[in-house]
Chain A
Amino acid sequence: MQLIQRQSRQSMTAPSRKPVQLGFRYLVCGIVAFFVLIPILTVIIGGFKTNGELSNAPFALPRIWHWDTYGGIILQSGFWLAIENSVVVTLATVGLLLLISCPTAFVLARIPFRGREMIFNLILFGLLFPVSMATLPLYITLRNLGLVNSLAGVILPQAAFALPTTILILRNFFRAIPQELEDATYIDGGSTVDFFWRILLPLARPSLAVVGMLAMVGSWNNFLLPLLVLNDSNLWTVPMGVMQFQGEHSTDWATTMAYITLTLIPAIIFYLFAERHLIAGLTAGAVKG
């Protein structure tokens, strides 16, 4: 710390010293980046190794790149079934969530009525309850509704538990849309619904993308709800599939790594495209919460 201080003070007078400080910052970031990436790279490369290579030379690149491990998994129907289930669950969750949260956030943001703040606070209250605390009664509720062992039993609670955050973020976005636009709609003879449907939603498309992508990642990764609800292996989502696969091949790390990599790659590609939106959503949800 002392070192940085001295360097930066000198940098005030001698600009040529600046590179030292910059170099230090890159060094710190580089070291952390190394530790963040190593586990991920190990797994991706590990899928190409044999089990012997994995335990004897964990840091070396594989001598022969074994594509066949990956090939073997791609040919398994269980893998594709898990992907298909995850896609269905994710699309349905995001669709349902947007369908019901947009109107609610709109009313809570722009239509004043008695008890509005109370309803809003009630919904925010849900931020305190993650699934992990309500597992048992939630399971009983799902059982009473006949939703255990069905994808709907994952989709509906997932959408419900995503509601508080989504409504909070959307409400803030919807409030930021200028009042003049709303006034203009009414002057032109439009109704509240016209304003919501024709003006506000098209304008709010970027914010819908933000909450949609957050919900997508949450649903794709969700572990506890599928664990709770889905017994039938034909219904398992990708996290459950990974769990099962590892259980069956507990000593065969190379195959497990190939399987994990195959589920990892689409997530990383999606992330590289959606990163900006995801971060915007998280900061909006947190900072303004």
Chain B
Amino acid sequence: MQVTSRAQAVAEAAVARAPARPRKRNFKSASVIVLFLLPSLVLYFVFIFYPVLQAIYYSLYRWSGLGNLTDFVGMGNYLTAFKSATFLSAFFHNLVILGLSLVFQLTLSLMLALVIGKTLPGRTFFRTIFFLPYILSEVVAGFIWMFIYEPNGGLLNGAFQHLIPGFQAQAWLGDPHMVLYSIFVAMTWKYFGLHLVLYVAAIQNIPDEVIEAARIDGASTFQVVRLISLPLLSSTIRLTIFLSALGSLQYFDLIWIMSGGGPVHASETMATYLYKSGFQSFQMGYGSAVGVIMILICFVFSIIYQRFIMRRDLAGSITSGADF
């Protein structure tokens, strides 16, 4: 459609002027395509694509990051990673964050979006508040929560001591059994607004008539939510699950700021483990192998998820052209 009408226009314009025009225009349009694409592609290849390919190459060597790559170890780094209890527990922590995000973060956002609904007066006011943490920097959010969790005189211990007499002050970030959950609460505070905003936008698109009709048929609020809103939101829900899962598998910032992966690796994720092996123990080859494993996990997950779960939603996204 687009192709034909444009071709027509070009043809008409050409006919209207000189017969020799089309070839020149073709040449010009090819150079426009190249010139317009080139800067983006160069930047993309140099800073995203090439480093990812390099990671695969480095991962086959034992390498401190300096000097030449001479110590070829083949799949050795990968085997080390899969035998490393620290890496496996880091991967497990990613899965814990993923599970908690799906169960708590998404549910909270979805229920809140349903409560706000289409009609609540003042809903933009609430949306402004709920979305605010999302735009704050991770460093700021991390320190705010470090103060809340501060063992001596922090906000949370203070609050519990007011409410429960004799409450023992807890080291929320210092206790290996609690640190991951403590950070997860901060993550929920920081990121639930994004999912909320997506759900609210999707709810705005539910036609009033559908809900009216159900109401006239005598449906209760609960039935309207269960039988109409949720099914109509399902493609957004599948999308937020996807975003949330990928984000959880790659997560770095708040963990690095609040606990650095500690104490004793209790909150280590694959990304913090990767960073440490590269820049603290100077095992660039090994760190690259960890990076490649992460990339593969995310890649396989996206392919499977999009093929089997998001198939109906979009003809688009990463695996095929994003026509919606």
A positions within 8 Å CB-CB of B = 1, 4-5, 8-9, 12, 21-22, 25-26, 28-29, 32-33, 35-40, 42-43, 46, 54-56, 58-59, 99-101, 103-104, 106-108, 110-113, 117, 119-121, 123-130, 132-141, 145, 156-157, 159-161, 163, 167-168, 171-172, 179, 182-183, 186-187, 189, 191-193, 217, 220-221, 223-224, 238-240, 242-243, 246, 253, 256-257, 260, 263-264, 267-268, 271-272, 275, 278-279, 282-283, 286-289
9 more contacts with CB within 8 A, not counting A110-B2, A123-B40, A186-B13, are A33-B129, A56-B153, A126-B48, A132-B252, A133-B274, A134-B291, A156-B47, A159-B43, A163-B40
The answer to whether A242 touches B198, judged by C-beta atoms less than 8 angstroms apart, is no
**Nearest CB to that of A271 among chain B residues?**
B135
Residue of B37, B44, B284 touching A160 (CB-CB under 8 A): B44
Q: Is B257 an interface residue (CB 8 A)?
A: yes
The answer to whether B58 touches A136, judged by C-beta atoms less than 8 angstroms apart, is yes
The answer to whether A135 touches B291, judged by C-beta atoms less than 8 angstroms apart, is yes
Docked CA distance A48–B35 (Å): 55
Interface SS, A side: helix
Residues of chain A within 8 A (CB-CB) of B8 are 183
Q: Closest approach, in angstroms, between the C-beta of B290 and any C-beta of chain A?
A: 9
**Nearest CB to that of A175 among chain B residues?**
B2
Q: Mark out the residues of chain B between 100 and 135 whose CB falls within 8 Å of any chain A CB in the assembled complex.
A: 112, 115-117, 120, 126-133, 135
Interface centre among B128, B147, B252 (most CB of A within 10 A): B147
Q: Closest approach, in angstroms, between the C-beta of B275 and any C-beta of chain A?
A: 6
Q: Closest approach, in angstroms, between the C-beta of B153 and any C-beta of chain A?
A: 3
The answer to whether A43 touches B147, judged by C-beta atoms less than 8 angstroms apart, is yes
The answer to whether A59 touches B158, judged by C-beta atoms less than 8 angstroms apart, is yes
Listed by A's residue number, 20 A-B pairs whose Cβ atoms lie within 8 Å are A4-B221, A5-B222, A8-B221, A37-B132, A59-B159, A119-B41, A126-B48, A136-B287, A137-B50, A141-B47, A141-B51, A145-B46, A171-B322, A182-B9, A186-B13, A191-B28, A223-B138, A253-B147, A279-B127, A282-B197
Residues of chain A within 8 A (CB-CB) of B88 are none
The answer to whether B55 touches A137, judged by C-beta atoms less than 8 angstroms apart, is yes
The answer to whether A33 touches B32, judged by C-beta atoms less than 8 angstroms apart, is no
Docked CA distance A206–B288 (Å): 41
- In this complex, how many residues of chain B approach chain A with their Cβ under 8 Å: the count is 112
Residues of chain B within 8 A (CB-CB) of A121 are 318-321
Docked CA distance A119–B128 (Å): 37
Docked CA distance A287–B322 (Å): 10
The answer to whether A103 touches B243, judged by C-beta atoms less than 8 angstroms apart, is no
Q: Known A40-B132, A136-B284, A287-B198; judge A103-B36 contact (CB<8 A).
A: yes
The answer to whether B37 touches A243, judged by C-beta atoms less than 8 angstroms apart, is no
Residue of B48, B58, B158, B222 touching A140 (CB-CB under 8 A): B58
- Nearest 9 pairs of A and B residues by beta carbon: A55-B153, A103-B36, A221-B137, A160-B47, A8-B221, A137-B51, A104-B40, A239-B139, A100-B39
Q: Which of B78-86, B174-182, B293-301 contacts A (4 or more CB under 8 A)?
A: B293-301
Q: Known A4-B221, A42-B155; judge A129-B116 contact (CB<8 A).
A: no
Residues of chain B within 8 A (CB-CB) of A123 are 40, 44
Residues of chain B within 8 A (CB-CB) of A172 are 322, 324
Residue of A36, A136, A168 touching B55 (CB-CB under 8 A): A136
Residues of chain B within 8 A (CB-CB) of A221 are 135-139
Docked CA distance A158–B82 (Å): 32
The answer to whether A224 touches B253, judged by C-beta atoms less than 8 angstroms apart, is yes
The answer to whether A186 touches B9, judged by C-beta atoms less than 8 angstroms apart, is yes
The answer to whether B140 touches A36, judged by C-beta atoms less than 8 angstroms apart, is no
Residue of B16, B30, B112, B220 touching A28 (CB-CB under 8 A): B112
Residues of chain A within 8 A (CB-CB) of B250 are 130, 132-133
The answer to whether B33 touches A113, judged by C-beta atoms less than 8 angstroms apart, is yes
Q: Is B234 an interface residue (CB 8 A)?
A: no
Docked CA distance A280–B36 (Å): 26
The answer to whether A242 touches B135, judged by C-beta atoms less than 8 angstroms apart, is no
Q: Known A58-B158, A137-B55; judge A287-B221 contact (CB<8 A).
A: no
Residues of chain B within 8 A (CB-CB) of A101 are 40
Docked CA distance A187–B39 (Å): 30
Q: Mark out the residues of chain B between 14 and 54 whose CB falls within 8 Å of any chain A CB in the assembled complex.
A: 16-17, 28-30, 32-33, 35-37, 39-41, 43-44, 46-52, 54
The answer to whether B36 touches A107, judged by C-beta atoms less than 8 angstroms apart, is yes
